[in-house]
Amino acid sequence: MEKIKETTEFLKSKGFANPEIAIILGTGMSELAQIINVKAKLSYKDIPNFPISTVESHAGELIYGDLAGKRVIAMAGRFHFYEGYDFQTIAFPVRVMLQLGAKLLIVSNAAGGINPLFKAGEVMLITDHINFLPGNPLRGKNYDELGPRFPDGYEVYPKKFQEIAEQAALEVGIPLRKGVYLAIQGPCLETGAEYRMIKTLGADAVGMSTVPEALVAKHMSIPVAGFSVITDMGLPDHMEPVSFEYVVNNAKRAELTLKKLITKFIEKVEL
Ligand code: HPA
């Protein structure tokens, strides 16, 4: 709690004041990052108590500025369990962004498509999640100033924001899938048997992030809007080799789509 306060005060002193929306610029969001009218920017390594990013495809910068008429704070580069971080470390920057005043968290990620109607390169709006990770950022002492000991599972991704996202997709003419995101620890992609299991569990997409961040937002009563870029299909009866390059290429294909969709979404959101 002390660290959250210290980092929040530090960022306020650097001009990261009163953001309306927090964004985790996950896979597919680099085009969106380009159109933020940047007012302040810091490397994670220059922010006290921030973890440092290890994945090459992520930048590791905290950005503050205007986007589609709203004040936003954005993480370019997030932290994953498979990198070796614990869940509280993964959650820390999100808690700080929300403590700074953000009223909505927007998240994107790369995910394997489980629903056989999906295709690689499409975008899925997250309607709900399954925490299949081996832990939870809310484990341990509860910080009552942030939220309750036992947060409920009601509308982590509220209907109200899903409807705005669907309306935004209609207006910009983008097909938007909808479904349940299951988070798994990675870093291995799934075997055919695991994809089959995940489908049986009720998920439409599978990935290695997002759920820890969504859980701390829920804890702090902050709504989440989540978008998954389907980078490969997990079809148990049609398994093929999947390379990192294939995943990245399909993510790239979705970047313009996500830029248009999320810009319109931010424009339409009222907070
Ligand atoms: N499984 C898990 N995580 C992923 C996948 C997948 O198939 N694709 C992108 N992230």
Question: Which pLDDT score is estimated for 55?
Answer: 58
pTM of the model: 0.96
Mean pLDDT, the chain, integer: 95
How far away, in angstroms, is 8 Cα from ligand 1 center? Answer: 33
CA nearest to 184, candidates 206, 215, 152: 206
Amino acid code (one letter) for 196:
R
Q: Which residues in the chain show pLDDT less than 50?
A: none
Hey, what domains does the chain have and what are their CATH numbers?
2-268 (3.40.50.1580)
Question: Which pLDDT score is estimated for 52?
Answer: 79
Q: Report d(CA 120, CA 147) in Å as an integer.
A: 37
**CB contact at 8 A, 102 and 64:** no
Q: From atom 5 of ligand 1, which residue's Cα is the shortest distance away?
A: 112
- pLDDT tens for each residue of 230-244: 999 999 999 999 998
How far away, in angstroms, is 47 Cα from ligand 1 center? Answer: 30
Question: Which pLDDT score is estimated for 54?
Answer: 65
